[in-house]
Amino acid sequence: MGMNVNLGTVLDQFVADLLKTGHYQSQSEILREGLRLLKEREELKQLRFAELRKEIAIGSAEADRGEFVDGKETFAAIRKRSAERKRANG
């Protein structure tokens, strides 16, 4: 399937500059490489979201079972350790 694309001045110049380097033989090659990278990035993003959803589900199940820590106590302990480190490091 053929396609005409208007990239705009900045991207047109970028493609022209890439062609001048000799690393790419055509505009189509450059656009295919860019789209492959975009596809890879989107797939990685979807994997990260799936992992995040999995971690949220685990945390939610733990919370439902009462397996969680009190936020105020946890942050108080973190602040205490931080203050102790500051005192120890001068």
At residue 68, the pLDDT reads 82
Q: What does the pLDDT read at residue 2?
A: 81
Provide the residue range defining the domain that includes 20.
Answer: 8-88
pLDDT in tens, 40-81: 999 999 999 999 999 999 999 999 999 888 889 999 999 999
Does 2 fall in a domain?
no
pLDDT, position 90? 74
Q: Is residue 57 part of a domain?
A: yes
pLDDT above 70 as % of the chain: 100
Q: What is the pLDDT at residue 57?
A: 97
Q: Identify the burial level of 34 via C-beta atoms within 10 angstroms of its C-beta, where 0-12 means exposed, 13-18 middle and 19 or more buried.
A: middle
**pLDDT at residue number 70:** 83
What's the domain count of the chain? 1
Structural domain includes residue 46:
yes
User: Is residue 32 a part of any domain in this protein?
Assistant: yes
Give dist(CA 83, CA 85) in Å, integer.
5
Residue 68 lies in a domain: yes
